[in-house]
Amino acid sequence: MRAVEKRGLILNTDQKDSDGESMDAPPDIPKPLPGKPVRLLDQFRFYLRQNNYRYATEKTYVHWVVQYIRFYGKRHPDEMGPAEVEAFLNHLSVTRSCTDSTQRVALNSLACFYNKFRKRELGTLNLRFGRRFKRPPAVFSHDEALAIIEQLHDPIRLISQLMYGSGLRISETLRLRVKDLDFSMQQLIVREGKGKRDRVTVLPRGLEGRLNRQIALAASLHDQDRANGVGPVWMPYALGRKFPNAGYSLKWQFIFPGDKPAIDPQTGIVRRHHIHADRVRRAVRAALEAGRIHKHAGPHTFRHSFATRMLEQGYDIRTVQELLGHSDVSTTERYLHVMNRGGLGVISPLDRG
C-alpha cells in the first residue's frame, strides 16, 4: 500500500479487494466512473446509477456478475446465456449449499444484467432452489443488551445505545449528521434508510448529554481539519456542487467522524468521513465474547431488540413499523414471536406451581 502526502497529511492509497473495490475508502461513497465507460462492468454500474439503484444494490449486483464471469473462466457474458446462468445458479445451491435467499439475490443480479442492461431475455430457467429457512430474529434481553453496552467504550458504546434506543441500522447510525438530531422534539431523522425513505424515530432523552459531547468532539475535529486544509464533508447527490460551502458547515458534519481523513474515491479530495461499520462489528463481537453471551448476534441485534421491547411495552404494531421503517407490516410481525417469553409465549409445565 502506497502512502500519499497531501497538505502535510500522510494518507494510505486505497487497497483493492478481489472485485476491484476499495477496502479503505468509505463504503457508502460510489466509486468514480468515466464519462463514457469502456469496461463492461463500468458500463453496468453506469446503467444502475442512471436508473437510481442504491449503491449497496449496485455493489451486490456487480459482485454476482463478477462471480458468474469467474465461474466460467472469465468468458465474456455475451458469449453465454440462459444455460450458463441456470448451471451457475444450480451450482450455488447444489455444490456450494447456498441458501435460497443468496441464490435469489444472484438470480436478480444476473436477470438485471441480461434482461435490462444487455436487453437479452433469459426466459424461464429450470432452477433448483436451496432450502428456505424462516428463522426468528436473534434478540437480546434488556439485561443482555445493557451488559454488552457496558463492555464497550465511546464512541462505539454511544453508537450501540442509539441502535438499541432508536431502532437504527448500523449504517443509519453512522450516517447521522448534526442536523438530524432534534433534542427539543426528542426525535431524530433517518435520511435515506432502506428503500431510500426518510423516517422519524425516537431519540432517547438519556443520551442527550453524551450526544452533545460527541457533537462537540466532531466540531473540534472539523475545526482542526479546516485549519489543516482538509476538504468539506462528503455531500449526497449534487448538493456539494449546488451549495459548495455547505460541506464546511457544522450541521452537515457526521456525528461519528472517522479517526483520520481519507481520499474521496469520487473526487480525490481529502475529507473526513464517518467511522467504518467494521469497527463497530468487531467491538460488539468482542463484547459478546467478554460477556459470555453465546447468541448468533451482532450490532443489528440491537435493532431487533428495540422492536421487541416496543411491542412488549404495548405499542401498536403500526407504530413500531413506522419507527423501524418497514414497508410491509409482516416484517414487523415476526417480532411478535420472540417477545415476552420464548416458545411462542407459553409456560413450560416444569415452571408451573
Q: Is residue 194 flagged as an active site residue? A: yes
Is the alpha carbon torsion for 224, 225, 228, 232 positive or negative? Answer: negative
337 is annotated as an active-site residue: no
Predicted local distance difference test score (pLDDT) of residue 12: 39
Of the candidate ranges 101-115, 201-215, 247-261, 332-346, the one whose mean pLDDT is the lowest? 332-346
Among 45, 177, 222, 303, which one carries the catalytic annotation?
303
Cα gap 112→64, rounded to integer Å: 11
Give all domains of the chain, ordered by start, each with its CATH number.
Answer: 23-117 (1.10.150.130), 142-337 (1.10.443.10)
Which segment, 47-51, 189-193, 339-343, is predicted with the most confidence on average? 47-51
What pLDDT is attached to residue 138? Answer: 87
pTM for the full predicted model: 0.76
Catalytic residue, chosen from 31, 59, 300, 337, is 300
Query: What is the pLDDT at residue 301?
Result: 95
Catalytic residue among 31, 49, 54, 194: 194
Bridge partners of residue 188, in order along the sequence: 181, 201
352 is catalytic: no
Residue 114 neighbours by CB distance under 10 Å: 21
Q: Is 157 annotated in the active site?
A: no
Residue from 45, 169, 272, 304 carrying the catalytic annotation: 169
Residue whose C-alpha is closest to residue 169's, from 281, 35, 44, 45: 281
pLDDT beyond 70 at 16: no
Which helix (H) or strand (E) covers residue 12, if one does?
strand 9-12
Grid cell listed for 188? 431524530
Torsion of CA 137, 140, 141, 142, to 10 degrees: -130
The fraction of the chain above a pLDDT of 70, given in percent, is: 85
What value does the mean pLDDT take over residues 181-209?
89
169 belongs to the catalytic site: yes
Residues 6+ apart with CB under 8 A from 242: none
**pLDDT band, very low/low/confident/very high, at 353 (cuts 50, 70, 90):** low
The residue whose grid cell reads 434482461 is 115
Provide φ and ψ at 180, rounded to 5°. Answer: -85, -10
The catalytic residue among 61, 68, 164, 335 is 335
326 is catalytic: yes
- Write the pLDDT tens digit of every residue in 298-327: 999 999 999 999 988 888 889 989 899 888
**Grid cell at residue 345:** 409465549
